């Protein structure tokens, strides 16, 4: 990462100089200008960030709700459904890629802003994570007290359960954002127009160009890392609390 940051400010001829010099001399912004003016980078950036944020918000809510249901309610088929969901963790995404693509196409979700988030809205890992945390950390007595006070079941989830789930939700949000933001295979199958690419696809076509445009790929990688760094900094407290809680509980 340090080398990529340094090389993105170097003239193209100096990127692979030997011995490597981590301090650009002379430093230039020409690579960034060429990237932003010559490629639809901001389109790639916007699509990646917006779809990752949408997928994260939806997934966090769905996983918390589903995990709460699996942890605290009894209903027909619960064990079978949970077993199927848990078993899906061992299924590689490539196995369901074609059926998922056919489903999206037949459902009319051809708009990439919506179709890109379909695989990430209810991750089995997130549901299992929430279910385990709720079972171990939220006693039934708290829920019964809320019911006695007249709270509805959904009200209990929103006002009692969600506030107690902040540590694992923060960890899940970081994981989900990175997973969606960095996804490559699903956008590769789904999107054909270059100006609708996500950042991983956009940087890939620059890297696979005939002359291997490292002077564009490296500044693109530096800019692409900004959202992930911001998400980590914003949620680092919840992430560390979630990981430490999991370690103690485990």
pLDDT tens for 35-78 read: 888 889 999 999 999 999 999 999 999 999 999 999 999 989 89
Instruction: State the residue for tokens 């564009």.
Output: 216
What pLDDT was estimated at residue 27? 82
Q: What is the 3-state secondary structure (H, E, C) of 23-48?
A: CCCCCCCHHHHHHHHHCCHHHHHHHH
Q: Which residues contact 9 (CB under 8 A, 6 or more apart)?
A: 24, 27, 28, 29, 31
Task: Report pLDDT digits (tens) over 164-179.
Answer: 998 889 889 999 999 9
Looking at the chain, which runs of residues are DSSP E strands?
none
| Furthest CA-CA distance within the chain | 73
What pLDDT was estimated at residue 130? 92
Average pLDDT over residues 131-148: 91
Average pLDDT over residues 125-136: 91
What pLDDT was estimated at residue 157? 93
pLDDT band at 244 (very low <50, low <70, confident <90, very high): low
pLDDT band at 250 (very low <50, low <70, confident <90, very high): very low
Domain boundaries, the chain: 2-10+29-249
Query: According to CATH, what is the number of the domain 2-10+29-249?
Result: 1.10.3720.10
Total length of the chain = 250
pTM, 2 dp: 0.85
Residue 245, pLDDT above cutoff 80: no
Residue 142, pLDDT above cutoff 50: yes
């Amino acid at each position: 990462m340090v080398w990529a940051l340094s090389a993105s400010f170097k003239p193209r001829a100096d990127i692979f100089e030997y011995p490597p010099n981590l301090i650009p001399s002379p430093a230039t912004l020409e690579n960034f200008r060429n990237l932003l003016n010559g490629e639809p980078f901001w389109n790639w950036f916007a699509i990646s960030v917006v779809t990752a944020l949408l997928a994260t918000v939806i997934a966090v809510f769905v996983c918390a709700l589903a995990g709460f249901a699996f942890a605290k309610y009894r209903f027909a088929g619960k064990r079978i459904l949970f077993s199927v969901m848990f078993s899906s963790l061992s299924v590689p995404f490539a196995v369901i890629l074609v059926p998922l693509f056919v489903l999206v196409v037949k459902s009319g979700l051809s708009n990439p802003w919506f179709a890109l988030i379909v695989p990430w809205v209810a991750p089995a890992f997130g549901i299992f994570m929430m279910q385990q945390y709720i079972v171990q950390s939220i006693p039934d007595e708290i829920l019964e007290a809320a019911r006695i006070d007249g709270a509805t079941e959904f009200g209990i989830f929103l006002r009692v359960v969600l506030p107690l789930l902040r540590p694992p939700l923060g960890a899940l949000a970081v994981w989900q954002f990175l997973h969606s933001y960095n996804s490559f295979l699903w956008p590769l199958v789904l999107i054909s127009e270059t100006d609708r690419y996500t950042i991983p696809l956009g940087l890939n076509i620059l890297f696979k160009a005939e002359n291997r445009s490292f002077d564009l790929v490296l500044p693109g990688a530096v800019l692409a890392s900004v959202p992930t760094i911001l998400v980590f900094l914003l949620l680092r407290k919840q992430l560390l609390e979630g990981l430490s809680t999991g370690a103690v509980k485990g």
